[in-house]
Structure 1
């Protein structure tokens, strides 16, 4: 346990260990998904997102599809951040047109009412093993989970929202009860990420998709501190595995996030100025990002210029090229091909 992965020719893994590459390695958030016709065909056969996640053979195929088509430098596990509340005992469903739903919502229920169901994670470990067995040695395998704050927003409200008002109110009104939820997520996430690593992933990413709306003090308390605790405990088990943090919407608070959580690399959303990031973040810190998904959708000169801006800003540091958030389902495949053509020229 805890030994470094032996993938000496994997450029993305080299960047995560602080080695600048002549051409930045690339992967795209949500690269395994609805913009791919082969994904849509498989999804239709499985009749539901959760059915696809829980079918390890199908989930492994989805994980490999974008790497097979585009030759990305990383495969990212096909799963969902809400498998943690599912394993903690909430019911998880995906409603067409409405997104994921968790019941009962913890805004008016307690953790004690839930019956733990860790067996829901077994299929995901099986997916990891299937992919790890066939993935080329030059391709980095990324695992992931949601960061405690973002997962908690779904558990408390029972669904996603843009301002997380229900969860933010609970965190102010009853910080003790909210801390118990956060701690349960940390415990489960450490075990879950360790299970992914033991099954074969090379690095992991923490998605904090809803970090943006918090006040500075609440950001410190509910984003930075729990993330730092999760990372510290995971490193006790897996000291050599790189960890990418992605606190979407954090803005200038990224500096404190990087310093206090001790992530190995930082993912930037599209609202962060690359020049600012290069100037104010540690010069040896690997940066991942941060093309606007809409620029990729539009293509043409807008795409070419946006790519150039990012490449110029990060030319002197370890850099992984990625989007500032997930690829949009309606993105043309030839725009992805154009992106790779520019990066690999």
Structure 2
């Protein structure tokens, strides 16, 4: 059965219920994923080998039939293609042997050629479109410039982002050059994903919420806009979603990025988010992932509260962040079942 409601809702069409998918819906909370991880322990092998990445992407689709299927990948995937190698160590995260700290390193970066550097991405998305066969919307995703810069400069995950902020405040011209190069590479990467089959693309600027609003306007927003502008020049009809973790202080600024949908985390009430973002901006989210540890009545009540506050147009139901590792699979199933059974005209919404 054809189902591209997520794509159409992102474009502003009205349906009987919100479309639904879940960030990190493929991952460690699923037994099927944990079994596959035992066979392929390297994260990059899992995410960069087409057959494996497709299988992982389809695990939650087969189990829960969400309205969106997102490519299993990593936001850092394009970095080696511009000259920034990295590795991902299980339980530790990404590690960069040579963090970006100097002007010479930035000058040495090369333009991204996705077809040469990332041919597996085309294979993954093309196969996903074939496998899903219009029974759900296929999503691509990328990291936004500030967040990719944070990983590359810090050299690993960080709690305080002191190294990149030191560069921002003491060597801003150098950082702006790096962010510009990243933005241009990411724009190419988004276009490549769309051409390969992605119908909607989500931009993750996960760590931009660590900035003050002033610094967000200086170091994150202009480069989000740079990506979006380039993509919209060639692919104006492809909806783009922007997610920022801990985004309460910058939510209004996210709406200035040019994206079609702002993904709201759970620290902002959805009704407040609607007021701050304005009537024309689409929203995604924003159930607290920990709600899925509650009983079914509690989960349903929180879902209804979110959907009521979001309204019946241009809302994609999702979590406010990724599904957590130890979340019961049966509760994930109940989340999807509940949203898919909703109807805006029912007594629950009147």
Corresponding position of 2:332: 336
The answer to whether the 8 A contact 1:89-1:115 is kept is: yes
Q: CA shift at 1:97, angstroms?
A: 2.5
* Residues 178 and 200 (structure 1), Cα distance of their counterparts in 2 relative to 1, 3 Å cut: same
TM-score w.r.t. the length of structure 2 is 0.92
Q: Name the residue aligned to 2:345.
A: none
Contact 1:86 1:117 in 2 (8 A): no
**Greater Cα shift, 41-50 or 23-32:** 41-50
Q: 2:302 aligned with 1:303, yes or no?
A: no
Secondary structure of 2:254's match?
helix
Pairwise mapping of residues 168-207 of structure 1 onto structure 2 (< 5 A)? 168-207=165-204
The Cα shift of 1:116 comes to 6.8
Structure 1 partner of 2:152: 155
- Which has the larger displacement, 142-151 or 108-117? 108-117
Residues of 1 paired with 2:2 and 2:227: CA distance? 28
Q: Give the gaps of 5 or more residues in structure 1.
A: 1-6
- 1:207 and 1:129 map into 2 onto residues whose CA distance is 22
Report the equivalent of 1:3. Answer: none
Q: Counterparts of 1:166-315 in structure 2 under 5 Å? A: 166-258=163-255, 260-315=256-311
What's the counterpart of residue 100 of structure 1?
94
The answer on whether the counterparts of 1:207 and 1:247 sit within 8 Å (CA) in structure 2 is yes
Partners of 1:143 and 1:111 lie apart in 2 by: 27
Match of 1:82 in 2: 76
Aligned CA-pair RMSD: 1.8
TM-score by length of 1: 0.93
How far apart are residue 275 of structure 1 and its match? 1.5
- Deviation digits for residues 246-290 of structure 1, max 9, x if unmatched? 1222214212221x2121111001111111012232223221000
- State the secondary structure of the residue aligned to 2:210: coil
- Contact 1:90 1:103 (C-alpha < 8 Å) held by counterparts: no
Does residue 1:49 correspond to 2:43, yes or no?
Answer: yes
Contact 2:262–2:283 (CA<8 Å) still a contact in 1?
yes
Residues 146-193 of structure 1, C-alpha deviations (whole Å, 9 max, x = no match): 011111100111111122121111111111110111111111111111
Number of the residue aligned with 1:24: 18
Any conservation in 1 of the 2:209–2:250 contact (CA below 8 Å)? Answer: no
- Pick closer, same or farther for the CA change 1:30–1:115 going to 2, 3 Å: same
> 2: distance between equivalents of 1:50 and 1:316?
39
SS across alignment from 2:177: helix
Q: Distance in 2 between matches of 1:221 and 1:247?
A: 16
Q: Give the drift of 1:114.
A: 5.0
Does the 8 Å contact 2:254/2:262 carry over to 1?
no
Q: 1:116 to 1:92 in 2, by over 3 A?
A: farther
1:127 aligns to what?
Answer: 124
Distance 2:231 2:14 in 1: 26
Secondary structure of 1:83 counterpart:
coil
- 1:301 Cα deviation after fit: 4.1
Matches of 1:189 and 1:278, distance apart in 2: 28
The CA deviation string for residues 14-56 of structure 1, in whole angstroms up to 9 with x for no partner, is: 1100123221111000011111111122222122100111211
Q: Give, in whole Å, the separation in 2 of the partners of 1:305 and 1:89.
A: 48
Superposed displacement of residue 134, structure 1? 1.8
Distance 1:56 1:156, change over 3 A: same
